[in-house]
Structure 1
Amino acid sequence: MTLTVKALTCDYRSELLGTDASTPKLSWKLESDRRGTMQGAYRIRVTRADDPSAAGPLWDSGKVTSSQSLHIPYAGPPLEPRTRYAYEVKAWDEQGEESPWSASQWWETALLGEPWRAVWITPDPERIDPQGEPAFLLRRGFELKGPVWRARLYATAAGVYEAYVNGRRVGEEWMSPGWTSYNKRHQYQTYEVTDLLVSGPNALGLQLADGWYKGNLAWQDNRNLYGDRRAALLQLHVEHADGSETVIVSDEQWKSETGPIQYAEIYHGETYDARLERPGWSEAGYDDSAWCGTERLDLPYDPLTAQENWATRITERLRPIELLRTPSGETVLDMGQNMVGRIRMRVNAPAGTRIRLQHAEVLDREGNFYIGNLRKARQTVEYIARGSEQGEPESYAPYFTFQGFRYVKVEGYPGQERGADVPLDAFIGEVMHSDMPPTGEFECSHPLVNQLQRNIVWGQRGNFLDVPTDCPQRDERLGWTGDAQVFIRTAVFNYQIGPFFTKWLRDLRADQLPDGGVPHVIPSVIKGHSSAAWGDAATICPWEMYRAYGDTSLLEEQYDSMRAWVAYMRAQGESETLWNTGSHFGDWLGLDAKENSYVGATPRDLIATAFYAHSARLVRDAAVVLCKAEDVRTYGELHHRVVAAFRNEFVTPSGRLAAPTQTAHVLALMFELVEGEGRTRVARELNALVEANKDHLTTGFVGTPYLCLVLSAHGYHATAEKLLLQESYPSWLYSVVKGATTIWEHWDGIKEDGTFWSDAMNSYNHYAYGAIGDWMYRILAGLDMDDEAAEPAWRRLRIAPRLGEGALTHARASLETPYGRAVSAWRIEEGRVQLSAEVPPNATARILLPDARLEDVRESGAPLAETSGVTAVEQTAEGVLIDAGSGAYRFEYLRAISGGVD
């Protein structure tokens, strides 16, 4: 038997460069060739990676008898700023088998509370207009005496920036420092720049644009929401081979100018005049004598924190699939995919040639370029060629903006005026989003469902650009709380979102109102707060993060925020257990809404009280995890009373819901607000409501995420499956049939006749309805956590696929859990069921073989009694129930004819 330790991470990252965490948390995975492997003990060793002469480890945990392999807090001496630490782990299994030491991994601290020596700087306002549109260029030359051993650049901006060392761009990040409520929390970045520096003359440079800090945000043309002047903060630490150190900081010695970026806005695009380029501006020896000076800007340092989120990067490049000539004569590139990012263009053109790229998501009914749904957002990039005597092509992609688009209208490209085709190979789409590692996959026998899965993933990619936005194309792109909470369970399957939501939840906590209210969007930049189902992101998202990753520290961090939100709800209603006041979005975009209304027919006080009960329960559950016994009692009692108030107000004595809407029934079932015969009746009536609508849904943002889940859970899985597989409006597959490559905001964003729902609010990349992915993975494919075991982070799996009635012949889901790869895959051929399951080491699973008879089941060709790794077997009415340890299993059996067991 071979036991190894692999995939070491520190705070979710394999290599964490620049953290301000004083007690980072270490995790690892096991690999074993034996089924049923569990960890019995571990040992961690931490050393200073940059001090090989140090005697012995900085911290040695010793052998710790524990099965825990996630989020072990560092417990050695206090960490030092700007220091790299190496760590390694060994483990013992439950039988005492010892692994070798793992490969070494590292994390590196950033400033870790060390005072900044740099000051915030901005160009001299007497020479460069602080409110002007051109991006700033900042530079400083300096001398290094002696060879460079190690160098780190710590940088951020009031605005968005990119840094240069000796003419070379630093790092692969874009749109840094990301978007936070800058006056409360402001990220800075750490860059490895050792190889960019030389002994002798060097130079630092920085480009700086408005970004989210002072640029146009939301549809109200708001500007300067965090400040009215851009500024930069840089600190370069250079360690020499002789042990000395040189520190170069941003200060009044820096020079400033403007350059080729004449305009840069997130919504509107960028204008780049290549004739204004300043070759060599960030290199040593550049003549900056005519440049302007800089001055210190009095901005705070207290909000500064090292980068928390995954950096925004270019993760994929797409070639256009077709060049279109529209009926109105436009030249349009079709990228084949609704994407978020930018176009990189190559061109050979005379100086002054102006090329214009405008971006859009769809074409209209006639096939013409359509920008109505962008509202005020222009999504336009302009490039003015510098020309080249040698005839070498120029290459350009915008620096400080991003677009949401599938189609690109091209104007002014050389030759267009003569009717020549634009060369497709001159353009490439660069996909940008927070660079989250992918974790999950889903596929099945239905090609349209597989395309739906791709649309869900692309919707997440496009809208997870530093914050979970509602749409990436129009004049909005805001962190709507409701969208985030309904999608988070699906998001966990697709990508590793630990750092992403950790950062965003800290933003939520920072922007939460003193009375516990939660702004509609985070970061908070519009008026309005505390709608039911939107504000509940304060409780739902921390809890789902805990369930997904098992990190109690984030739950502890957010606990006061969770309690504050429940306290806010408790203070709102006419009684403390019924929330029947306030302004709410209701079942947003529900199809049962009144004419000209966005709000569905489900009473808003019903929705508000249902979420009040749900959030009270989540705070109680969090209190259980955090061992807060008094709060367990307090919120347990509150939850009980709110549920009672809900029943008294919204359920008749005979058990009928007062609101005859799909969403009302969904919430009552999902949040367990009815019980016994009442629950049976509500489920039956929900099914009847769906059938009465010809097996179509009427739900909006609130009801849709839970609709199929509650149908499957209460005996109506066939109805849930019909809902998924509907191709006519309204349904998930309707947009797929219409050619969608992302999730739409409206079920009928494009109507049957090709017309549009509305220009006012019609995004074609709006991930909320992609929450159906949660049901597809957990119920259809059957890969889930066993909630009865109360083990977070997929420690205890439940593999229990729903085979349906023959519409699907196979489905497969896989997930890279915190313990390793988990898989549930089933296939039916000629009545025989094949079910493959993978359980990672240090985890267990409860596996249900649906419609199976115990005597028929074989695992890898052998009877269950001879199967290693299986610890218990039981025949149930649903099928055969198996408890199993880690390993890969392949079950096969003849499906019971009746859909159950005789």
Structure 2
Amino acid sequence: GLEEPRGIDPGGVVNVSWILESSKLATFQQAYEITLKSGSRTVWRSGRVESDNSVRVPLGGNLQSGTAYNWSVKVWDNHGEVSKPVTASFSTGLSPDEWKASWIGIDTGNKSVCPSPVYFRKTVRAGGGVKRAVAYVTSHGIYELRINGVKVGEDYLTPGWTSYQKTLQYQAYDVTEAIKKGGSEITALVCPGWYASGMGWGEPQNRLRYGSDLGLLFQLEIEYSGGRRQTVVSGPDWEMSRKGPVKDATYYDGETIDLTESYQWESATLLPAPASELVACVSEPVRVREVRNSVRYLVTPKGEKVIDFGQNLVGWERIRIKGRKGQVVKVSHAEVLDKDGNFYTANMRAAKVLSTFVLSGGEDVFEPCHTFYGFRYIRVEGVEGDLNPSDYCAVVADSGFDAVGGFSCSNPLVNQLQSNIYWGFRGNFVDIPTDCPQRDERLGWTGDAEFFFRTATFNGKVDNFFRKWLRSLRDDQTERGGIPAVIPDIFFGRMGDFACGWADCATIIPWQHFRAYGDISVLKEQYPSMKAWVDFQLRSCNNYLLNTLKQPYGDWLFWSQDNDRSGRSAVTSPALAAQCFMAGSIDIVAKTAQLLGKDADASYYRAELQKVKDAFLNEYVTPGGLVSSDTQTAYVLALYFDMLPERLRGQAADRLAANIKDYGYHITTGFLGTPHICEVLSEWGYSDVAYKLLLQETCPSWIYPVKLGATTIWERWNSIKPDGTIVGGMNSFNHYSYGSIGDWLYRYAAGIRETSPGYKTFVIDPHPGGGFKYMEAYTRTPYGKIRVKWEADADKIRAIEFTIPVGTTATVRCPDGQMRTLGSGNYGFGVELE
């Protein structure tokens, strides 16, 4: 859940969680007592509850809207220890009937044109004795709220991207201190954002928008110490200006800031209220996480002035500059330099990714924070002489994730690979999970999110982030149960809804979310959607074979070896892959139905699953165990989704390992096969082969880009060729899908794997190999931090240290080969190796 959230839904159930710590071994909670207060008034007290549950415990009491609460918990453990109460807080938002504000703004009436930013203002005079003041805000477009010129809150790109035609988020900000000062000028800037910038690909005239308007909805609730209340709302008594310093701000083309531009205020225009449901924000907002200094200044062979930040990242630049009034400075963005060392932007396609600054004549600081860019390098034009690197910074923004995991080992190339995975994760988790953060795309591709989900859980706290995104998935699911290729669906159904392996995110992500966080409410929310997707697939089958729908993507960006003249060395039948993913989805729905007490559904889907597997065996597997396509991906999917009878599984694993060896221990899988290949190898006793894949240094491999200086994961195995040539067209240098190897690093190489939801129980069962001398990993679970560090000689573990959180149990493979089941605490085991 969210940490001390503001403005949550007052009509929903509020669940609270806490993490226990103890210096004693095998500690678990025996009982708890929760107290809920509003100010000094006790709203509800649980009394002592005999339970070991500390995750998502529901609060009692009737919550009031627009109210601040604090809650505390006291815990008794099995050693007789009693904790001191620990307090946290939250506040509720507005109920639907409490919104009194009106929408104000502009409407061009033409969705083919991007509207220009619009400013709003209103002066508010509060009386004395202000006790609490909360602003509730949303917009069509993205807004920036200020009071007396000071930015309110730390959030950016609000209200975030949802399926706007169905759902629109609002945010709540405590502005008490600002309002207490008396007369306050409230200003808001609304820019096009995801709503109206124009998304999709191609030239601007072909981009798609939710609307032709930019609008603001604002409501300020002021509570005085004597009990009086004052409400200030957006309406026709506000002013707006279509002119101001921020002249343009779109996600693909960039932002223009003109400090010579004056406002032209006029009365605000009322807009009709949209039909979308106003909902409280349920995930962490986009925030600035880091400001990086430049690492070098260079002049390219073409004479371009370039600043290098040393890391491919996502955010925007901050520059300090002094020049003539009206002087124009342009800043372009790039991920890489070409083979000759020149600035390279061809992979941005039709996106201009350009910041334009018009100087005031004094010393100016520019920060184009109403868009975002994916970049390592910036090119600066319009500045005379050499650049001063200290005047240029990169502002890194993402969805406010604290790092919950860490990984390090004795191989520096693998450490860099993990760093690349982490930076790709940060850069593509900007309010929604995107495929890439830089070119004319930046969309919520379903497959990319699905393939990377488990890796994401080791790198950041993504439970709320995906709960929000899954709501958009429900909103955009088609009537027949299909799932659009991108969520939110800016294409409005034009991209199709049947990309198997991609649309299976509808079942796979909720299930993996449950396994990672132990939150069954997500399964409850998503079950109708999960069921609808599986039913759609079953209806589309021909004798339980899903070969009737033409699959648009399949094993996307698989690798064909150069010496394979037919170019089909790694072509996996899309229908075969679809059959495997359909089986996986049916299995998940059956298990979910069982958990939710829907026994009839569970029985039905278990029976359907067997028929789907029987059809797969008859259609795609020879009596001798050869799987059709005979590719790495075919064997990976057949084994991962348990499509084969027991008598054929070992043969399939052998064929997979042999195929990899035949290609010189190179990977040939695409997006469908890559996330699971090393896991399947380890499960079937081929961890040595998995390590050879991991450590392969020539293309295609994970380490190949690292050797070429990559600082994020590439979209293609060969985004840059060995001779330095950059592959043209669709070529992102920050595309996290192949970073799914991170899951194997944590779960198999380091050995941390959950055996029950939320890591209430788990195993620590490392798979040493690859000549690694040591490996260390940790991850923060709902119960606390799990940590493991092992040391090895000749791929045999000689020492292991680990931490088990309070309230959990782990089964650990110790260096002597024995499996030991242990309670919480810090442990170490070792053995003498000959």
Q: TM-score, normalised by structure 1?
A: 0.89
- 2: CA distance, partners of 1:426 / 1:190: 35
- 1: CA distance, partners of 2:300 / 2:234: 51
Q: 1:376 and 1:762, CA in 2 relative to 1: closer, same or farther beyond 3 A? A: same
Contact 2:76 2:83 in 1 (8 A): no
- 1:141 positional shift: 1.4
2:245 corresponds to: 260
Q: 1:513 and 1:301, CA in 2 relative to 1: closer, same or farther beyond 3 A? A: closer
- 1: CA distance, partners of 2:515 / 2:107: 51
- 2: CA distance, partners of 1:234 / 1:669: 54
2:448 corresponds to: 483
Contact 1:163 1:169 in 2 (8 A): yes
- 1:13 positional shift: 1.8
Q: Within the alignment, does 1:827 sit opposite 2:791 as a pair?
A: yes
1:552 corresponds to: 520
- 1: CA distance, partners of 2:107 / 2:378: 38
Q: Within the alignment, does 1:801 sit opposite 2:766 as a pair?
A: yes
**Cα displacement string for residues 868-896 of structure 1 (whole angstroms, at most 9, x for unaligned residues):** xxxxxxxxxxx21101000000111124x
1:102 corresponds to: 85
Once the two structures are superposed, the pairs formed by residues 526-565 of structure 1 within 5 Å of their partners are: 526=491, 527-528=494-495, 529-565=497-533
Q: Within the alignment, does 1:582 sit opposite 2:554 as a pair?
A: no
1:435 corresponds to: 400
1:24 corresponds to: 14
1:883 corresponds to: 821
Q: Within the alignment, does 1:331 sit opposite 2:305 as a pair?
A: yes
Once the two structures are superposed, the pairs formed by residues 716-755 of structure 1 within 5 Å of their partners are: 716-755=686-725
1:656 corresponds to: 626
2:260 corresponds to: 275
- 1:644 positional shift: 1.2
Q: Within the alignment, does 1:293 sit opposite 2:267 as a pair?
A: yes
Once the two structures are superposed, the pairs formed by residues 588-737 of structure 1 within 5 Å of their partners are: 588-592=556-560, 601-737=571-707
- Read off the aligned partner of 1:808 and give its amino acid letter: F
- 1:581 positional shift: 2.4
SS in 2 for 1:476: coil
SS in 1 for 2:617: helix
- 2: CA distance, partners of 1:602 / 1:123: 51
- Read off the aligned partner of 2:704 and give its amino acid letter: Y
Contact 2:7 2:66 in 1 (8 A): no
Determine which of 236, 247, 251 is the counterpart of 2:235.
251
- 1:645 positional shift: 1.1
- 1:578 positional shift: 3.6
Q: 1:887 and 1:673, CA in 2 relative to 1: closer, same or farther beyond 3 A? A: same
Question: Higher mean Cα deviation, 239-248 or 513-522?
Answer: 239-248
1:286 corresponds to: none
- 2: CA distance, partners of 1:449 / 1:334: 24
- 1:20 positional shift: 4.5
- 2: CA distance, partners of 1:397 / 1:339: 16
Q: Within the alignment, does 1:815 sit opposite 2:815 as a pair?
A: no
- 1:224 positional shift: 5.7
1:241 corresponds to: 225
Determine which of 767, 777, 780 is the counterpart of 2:749.
780
Contact 1:466 1:500 in 2 (8 A): yes
- 1:447 positional shift: 0.1
- 1:21 positional shift: 5.4
Contact 1:25 1:74 in 2 (8 A): yes
Once the two structures are superposed, the pairs formed by residues 458-469 of structure 1 within 5 Å of their partners are: 458-469=423-434
- 1:100 positional shift: 2.9
- 2: CA distance, partners of 1:609 / 1:643: 8
**Cα displacement string for residues 419-440 of structure 1 (whole angstroms, at most 9, x for unaligned residues):** x210001110000110012100
- Read off the aligned partner of 2:776 and give its amino acid letter: R
- Read off the aligned partner of 2:558 and give its amino acid letter: G
- 2: CA distance, partners of 1:343 / 1:107: 34
- 1:40 positional shift: 1.7
- 1: CA distance, partners of 2:329 / 2:355: 8
Contact 1:518 1:538 in 2 (8 A): yes
- 2: CA distance, partners of 1:818 / 1:584: 38
2:122 corresponds to: 140
Q: 1:654 and 1:91, CA in 2 relative to 1: closer, same or farther beyond 3 A? A: same
- 1:275 positional shift: 0.6
**Cα displacement string for residues 472-530 of structure 1 (whole angstroms, at most 9, x for unaligned residues):** 01000000000000000000000000110000001101100011000000000132222
1:229 corresponds to: 213
- 1: CA distance, partners of 2:560 / 2:308: 35
SS in 1 for 2:593: helix
Contact 1:123 1:130 in 2 (8 A): no
Contact 2:114 2:212 in 1 (8 A): no
- Read off the aligned partner of 1:842 and give its amino acid letter: G
2:488 corresponds to: 523
Q: Within the alignment, does 1:771 sit opposite 2:735 as a pair?
A: no
- Read off the aligned partner of 2:632 and give its amino acid letter: Q
- Read off the aligned partner of 1:87 and give its amino acid letter: W
SS in 1 for 2:20: strand
- 1: CA distance, partners of 2:358 / 2:111: 23
- 2: CA distance, partners of 1:20 / 1:412: 52
Q: Within the alignment, does 1:80 sit opposite 2:64 as a pair?
A: yes
Q: 1:125 and 1:16, CA in 2 relative to 1: closer, same or farther beyond 3 A? A: closer
Contact 1:88 1:101 in 2 (8 A): no
- Read off the aligned partner of 1:117 and give its amino acid letter: K
Contact 1:123 1:255 in 2 (8 A): no
Q: 1:733 and 1:109, CA in 2 relative to 1: closer, same or farther beyond 3 A? A: same
- 2: CA distance, partners of 1:124 / 1:663: 50
- Read off the aligned partner of 2:746 and give its amino acid letter: Y
Q: 1:650 and 1:125, CA in 2 relative to 1: closer, same or farther beyond 3 A? A: closer
Q: 1:60 and 1:595, CA in 2 relative to 1: closer, same or farther beyond 3 A? A: farther
- 1:107 positional shift: 1.1
- Read off the aligned partner of 1:848 and give its amino acid letter: R
SS in 2 for 1:295: coil
Q: Within the alignment, does 1:37 sit opposite 2:27 as a pair?
A: yes
Report the RMSD for the aligned CA atoms in angstroms.
2.0
Q: 1:829 and 1:650, CA in 2 relative to 1: closer, same or farther beyond 3 A? A: closer
- 1: CA distance, partners of 2:819 / 2:566: 51
- 1: CA distance, partners of 2:291 / 2:587: 45
Question: Higher mean Cα deviation, 768-777 or 582-591?
Answer: 582-591
Q: Within the alignment, does 1:118 sit opposite 2:87 as a pair?
A: no
- 2: CA distance, partners of 1:453 / 1:150: 45
- 2: CA distance, partners of 1:474 / 1:438: 26
Q: Within the alignment, does 1:62 sit opposite 2:47 as a pair?
A: yes
- Read off the aligned partner of 1:884 and give its amino acid letter: L
- 2: CA distance, partners of 1:307 / 1:408: 34
- 1:579 positional shift: 4.1
**Cα displacement string for residues 668-714 of structure 1 (whole angstroms, at most 9, x for unaligned residues):** 11111113220000000000000000011110000011011101110
- 1: CA distance, partners of 2:220 / 2:565: 60
- 1:120 positional shift: 0.5
Q: Within the alignment, does 1:394 sit opposite 2:379 as a pair?
A: no
The count of residues paired between Structure 1 and Structure 2 equals: 825
2:340 corresponds to: 366
Q: 1:784 and 1:125, CA in 2 relative to 1: closer, same or farther beyond 3 A? A: closer
- 2: CA distance, partners of 1:277 / 1:599: 62
- 1:63 positional shift: 1.6
2:382 corresponds to: 412
- Read off the aligned partner of 1:770 and give its amino acid letter: G
- 1:716 positional shift: 0.7
Question: Higher mean Cα deviation, 829-838 or 473-482?
Answer: 829-838
- 2: CA distance, partners of 1:35 / 1:105: 27
- 2: CA distance, partners of 1:102 / 1:301: 44
Once the two structures are superposed, the pairs formed by residues 299-310 of structure 1 within 5 Å of their partners are: 299-300=273-274, 302-310=276-284
- 2: CA distance, partners of 1:60 / 1:101: 16
- 1:554 positional shift: 1.0
Contact 1:213 1:224 in 2 (8 A): no
Contact 2:107 2:214 in 1 (8 A): no
SS in 2 for 1:32: coil
In structure 1, stretches of 5+ residues that fail to align are 1-10, 279-289, 853-878, 898-902
SS in 1 for 2:136: strand
Contact 2:28 2:78 in 1 (8 A): yes
